[in-house]
Amino acid sequence: MTEESVVATAQRLQPQLVTHFMQLIQTNHLAHAYLFNGADGTGRQEVARTVAMRLFCQNVTAEGMPCGTCAECRRIMAGDHPDVVSVVPDGQRIKVDQVRYLKAEFTKSAVEGNQKIFIVDQVDRMTTGAANSLLKFIEEPVGNTVALLLTANKNLILPTILSRTQVVDFLRVSPRALTDALATAGVVPSQRYLLTTLTESVSAALELTADDWLKDAQAAVGQWLAACCANDERAFVRVQTDLVPLGSNRDRQGIILDMVVQAWHDALRQQSGTVGPDDLAYPQVAQASREVGQRLSIDQLVAIMTLTLATRGQLAGNMNFQAILEALTLQILAQMR
């Protein structure tokens, strides 16, 4: 992603927030600590970078935006500006050595000017001890510093940090806007609706389509759904042969479970009438999901949806992925009788 596209993306996803922060910087009213709270794809990283670029930009535009092309903007985008400190999780957590690095940087003054900015993404992945260490420097900033803490879920942040930062809630991306962005990115129509149910991020969506993973997963879940709808016990076999191999890691397993939820959501939505193929997660098995949606009672469909929604919690509880899907399949087949 180029520096120009970062600013453009921030303006497209969060135009009001971008305008607000540009005005705060222009009037020297920027606070010293913010918590950017927004789901993946809502632009929290892009807005944070835009704020950093505006603070150091040498050629601010007439509209009060960073130019994106000056030496300072380009250094920030390249990640080599000494006064812009960024930290992202190394694996599943923000690790101890990263926290030590942050603490060391918080005690230093700006290298090239009188301003320093810290961007900590997925701050909810800090341990309690690390978060408490960070809190100390938020409470007692050294010099002219700004801390931007980024999270997808503010409910996972320590209350002490919440109380000492200005919480900025990011607007969710509308499904239509995401669909249009996916179309521009070249995603085929049959995959767009499904992707809008799985993520709000174009980049995350494109990662799912890489190497045809989503294509294969969509086909496998669709065939499993069709077998369930036909009360075909081979649906149980498809779990091991088709679905489990696609869940190569915990993240992909969670996505497959989310896809299973959307498969039955198709059936529920088609109970009262036909839904167009562009608004279905599994248009290739639309007839099967429509027929089962019209055959089962609302209570039966709600019961199945409840079962599918529970699978994410089971995975978080470290239940075996294959066991979760096999148990779900047997419970669904029981509803078909």
pLDDT digits (tens, 9 = 90+) for 90-146: 776 787 788 788 878 877 777 877 889 999 998 988 877 778 878 877 877 777 889
- DSSP SS3 for 296: coil
Listed range (41-55, 110-124, 235-249) with the worst mean pLDDT = 110-124
Position 175 pLDDT exceeds 90: no
Q: Which residues pair with 118 in a beta bridge?
A: 85, 147
Query: For the sheet containing 116-120, what is the strand order?
Result: 84-87, 116-120, 145-151, 33-37, 166-169
Neighbouring C-beta atoms of residue 102, cutoff 10 Å: 21
Question: Of the ranges 44-48, 125-129, 156-160, which one carries the lowest mean pLDDT score?
Answer: 125-129
Tokens of 247: 């869940």
Structure tokens at 319: 């239940």
Q: Map tokens 């091991």 to a residue.
A: 240
Residue 100: both structure tokens together: 């030590």
Residues 6+ apart with CB under 8 A from 67: 57, 58, 59, 60, 61, 73
**Whole-number mean pLDDT of the chain?**
90
Which pLDDT value is given to residue 318?
A: 84
Could you tell me the pLDDT band of residue 284, with boundaries at 50, 70 and 90? Answer: very high
Higher model confidence: residue 56 or residue 40?
56
Read off the pLDDT of each residue in 328-335 and give the average, rounded to a whole number: 96
The string of pLDDT tens digits covering residues 66-78 is 998 999 999 999 9
Residue pair 328/297 in contact (Cβ under 8 Å)? The answer is no
Residue 289 has pLDDT above 50, yes or no: yes
pLDDT, position 320: 96
Topology given in CATH for the domain delimited by 3-169: Rossmann fold (3.40.50)
Residue 25 has pLDDT above 80, yes or no: yes
CA 265 to chain centre: 21
Place 58 in a pLDDT band, splitting at 50, 70 and 90.
very high
Please report the pLDDT score of residue 4 as a whole number: 41
Using one digit for the tens of pLDDT, what is the confidence trace for 243-259? Answer: 999 999 998 999 999 99
pLDDT score, position 215 = 97
Q: Measure the CA–CA gap between 49 and 63, rounded to whole angstroms.
A: 17
Residue 2 clears pLDDT 70, i.e. is over it: no
3 pLDDT higher than 50: no
In this predicted structure, the answer to whether residue 1 has a pLDDT above a threshold of 70 is no
pTM assigned to the model: 0.67
The ranges of the chain annotated as CATH 3.40.50.300 are: 3-169
* Cα–Cα distance list, 225 to 3, 214, 301 (Å): 43, 16, 13
